A = this chain, B = another copy of it.
Amino acid sequence: MKYELYYWPMIQGRGEFVRLALEDAGADYIDVARSRRKGMGMAAMLRLMEDAARPPFAPPFLKAADQLIAQTANILLFLGPRIGLAPTDEADRLWAHQLQLTIADLVTEAHDVHHPVSSALYFEDQKPEALKAARHFTSERLPKFLAYFDTVLGRNPHGADFLVGSQATYVDVSMFQLLAGLRYAFPRTMKTLDRKHRRLAALAERVASRPRLAAYLSSPRRLPFNEQDVFRHYPELDAR
Binding site for B on A (CB under 8 A): 53-57, 67, 69-71, 73-74, 77-78, 91, 94-95, 97-98, 101-102, 105, 108, 112, 116-118, 120-121, 126, 129, 132-133, 136-137, 140-141, 145, 148, 151-152, 155, 157
Q: Is chain A's binding surface mostly helix, strand, loop or mixed?
A: helix
A117 to B148, CA, bound (A): 22
Shortest CB–CB separation between residue A5 and chain B, in angstroms? 16
Q: For residue A69, which residues in chain B have a CB less than 8 angstroms away from its CB?
A: 94, 98
Asked whether, in the complex, the Cβ of B151 is within 8 Å of the Cβ of A55, the reply is yes
Q: How many copies of this kind of chain does the complex include? A: 2
Q: For residue A116, which residues in chain B have a CB less than 8 angstroms away from its CB?
A: 112, 116-117, 129, 133
- A-B pairs with beta carbons under 8 Å apart, 23 shown: A53-B155, A53-B157, A54-B152, A55-B148, A55-B152, A57-B148, A69-B94, A69-B98, A71-B97, A71-B98, A71-B101, A71-B102, A74-B101, A112-B112, A116-B116, A116-B117, A117-B133, A118-B133, A118-B136, A118-B137, A120-B136, A126-B132, A129-B132
A55-B148, A57-B148 known; A136 vs B117 contact (CB < 8 Å): yes
Asked whether, in the complex, the Cβ of A136 is within 8 Å of the Cβ of B152, the reply is no
Asked whether, in the complex, the Cβ of B145 is within 8 Å of the Cβ of A120, the reply is no
Q: Which residue of B lies closest to A65 (CB)?
A: B91
Q: For residue A112, which residues in chain B have a CB less than 8 angstroms away from its CB?
A: 112, 116
Q: Which residue of B lies closest to A50 (CB)?
A: B151
Q: For residue A105, which residues in chain B have a CB less than 8 angstroms away from its CB?
A: 57
Shortest CB–CB separation between residue A32 and chain B, in angstroms? 19
Q: Which residue of B lies closest to A73 (CB)?
A: B101
Q: Which residue of B lies closest to A148 (CB)?
A: B57
Shortest CB–CB separation between residue A219 and chain B, in angstroms? 30
Asked whether, in the complex, the Cβ of B74 is within 8 Å of the Cβ of A91, the reply is no
Q: For residue A95, which residues in chain B have a CB less than 8 angstroms away from its CB?
A: 54
A73-B101, A105-B57 known; A91 vs B67 contact (CB < 8 Å): yes
